[in-house]
Amino acid sequence: MKKVMIKKVGSYDVEKIKDAILGSMEDLGGIDRFIKKDMLIALKPNLVLKRSPEQAATTHPSIVQAIGEIIKEHGAKAILIESPGGPFSRSRMKNNYDTTGMTEACEKAGIELNYDLETTSIRNDDALFMKNVTIVKAFEKVDAIINLPKLKTHGQMVYTGAVKNMFGIVPGIIKAEHHFRTPSYDDFANSIIDIFISKKPVLNILDAIEAMEGNGPTAGDVKKLDALIISEDAFYLDYFACEIICLSHDDVPILRQAVKRGYLSTDLDVEEAASIEEFKCHNFKIPSRDNPKVIDFSDHTPSGKFIKLLKPKPVFDHKKCILCGECVSSCPSEVLSIKKEKIHIELDDCIRCYCCQELCPERAVKIKRGIVIDSVLKIEKIFKGGAK
């Protein structure tokens, strides 16, 4: 069992965050295990979309500043590297850095901001699907990666944290290709795992001081959890993060597949492994979703085609929509278009990746469950004693 450190941090005060990180590093074997003099270390935050820090959709800049200062104080250099969704361009990166507070945080801590748009391909023989992965080339030029994810719900993957955050090493619109090539939730989860193990971070620091619940990963609500969760092992970190929000790992495709592939063992005493009781949130809102463990959404059978009609679907709020076209240009299956000054969707070919919801700058997309599945899940909740 890998160590998972959970530190109580009630605000985004940089000094308190630094103390929590340094204390965790000592508990994990010492700072020299992660940062050595003259190293070049990539910081990989979650900057999925151009959002202000207060909206809790992105890693808070105070986390970046804190780890950047620690790296500098120990004689190493840091560079922040990220590739948000949508087209990968210098102007979009600058707007993202500015809006998310990264520009200011990096200036304060002496962190370089990456604007290198070159890509490269790396080989991953341990992969199930992604034997060759196209990544942002800047990640190949560093000595180590420190992963800085944000705890959020996710319309497709249910939860997004440390493992999912490394999907951001894949440049811009190429992410859409992965969605299209692996449309089933479990297959896409395995693709995420493949990408993660191709470029594993030396340390993961999960921003759960303010998390996102509900309609995540970009249009949900802020939820204070007052926690930093830190570990060398991203799979165990995500497992304990889910324990804190009372979400079963078996309901999270990435963690479910990680268990099958041997990257995560659930044969452990949670209370002994990490002190989490004081952090537990029993009313954390998990997004509306289908149940990929039970329902086969394959199109290979008549029943599969029928079931697909019952799947959750993206619904557009045309009053909020400004017709910017972000969803259209980012749709992996190319089922979105603008017709008669409204977004039109061909649901028959929609793969339910929910990129449209994730990348909408106006929060104009929600995921609506089919009435049958909605009823089934409500009945299930009643039998579990969870309904009021």
For residue 216, what are its two tokens?
């995540």
pLDDT at residue 253, rounded to an integer: 94
- DSSP tag of 293: T
Q: Which domains does the chain have, with CATH numbers?
A: 5-279 (3.40.50.11440), 302-383 (3.30.70.20)
Residues 239 and 255 sit within 8 Å (Cβ to Cβ): yes
Kindly give the confidence (pLDDT) of every residue in the chain, 388 residues in length, as a single tens digit, with 9 standing for 90 and above. Answer: 578 999 999 999 999 999 999 999 999 999 999 999 999 999 999 998 889 999 999 999 999 999 999 999 999 999 999 998 767 788 889 999 999 999 999 999 999 999 999 999 999 898 888 888 889 999 999 999 999 999 999 988 999 999 999 999 998 777 767 666 766 888 889 999 999 999 999 999 999 999 999 988 988 999 999 999 999 999 999 999 999 999 999 999 999 999 999 999 877 655 444 568 889 999 999 986 544 443 444 444 444 554 555 567 788 888 889 888 888 877 877 888 888 888 888 887 787 777 787 778 888 888 776 554 455 555 555 555 544 3
Q: Which residue's structure tokens are 């105070």? A: 62
CA nearest to 88, candidates 33, 154, 155, 135? 135
pLDDT at residue 388, rounded to an integer: 38
- Side-chain half-sphere exposure of 216, counting CA atoms within 13 A: 27
Q: Which residue's structure tokens are 């190493």? A: 76
For residue 59, what are its two tokens?
């890693």
Helix (H), strand (E) at residue 349 = none
Task: Kindly give the residue spans of alpha helices, DSSP state H, lying in the chain.
Answer: 14-27, 61-73, 90-100, 102-109, 162-165, 174-181, 185-198, 234-244, 253-260, 270-273, 302-308, 326-330, 355-359, 371-383
pLDDT at residue 82, rounded to an integer: 95
CA nearest to 186, candidates 65, 293, 75, 47? 293
What is the distance between the terminal CA atoms of the chain, rounded to a whole angstrom? Answer: 37
Whole-angstrom distance, CA of residue 92 vs CA of residue 305: 39
Residue 136 phi/psi, 5° resolution? Answer: -65, 125
**What is the model's pTM?**
0.81
Pairing type for strands 112-113 and 221-231 reads unpaired
Q: Find residue 367's DSSP bridge partners.
A: 314
pLDDT at residue 309, rounded to an integer: 52
Write the DSSP string, 235-273: HHHHHHHHHHTT--GGGSHHHHHHHHTTS----S-HHHH
Burial of 175 (0-12, 13-18, 19+ CB in 10 A): buried
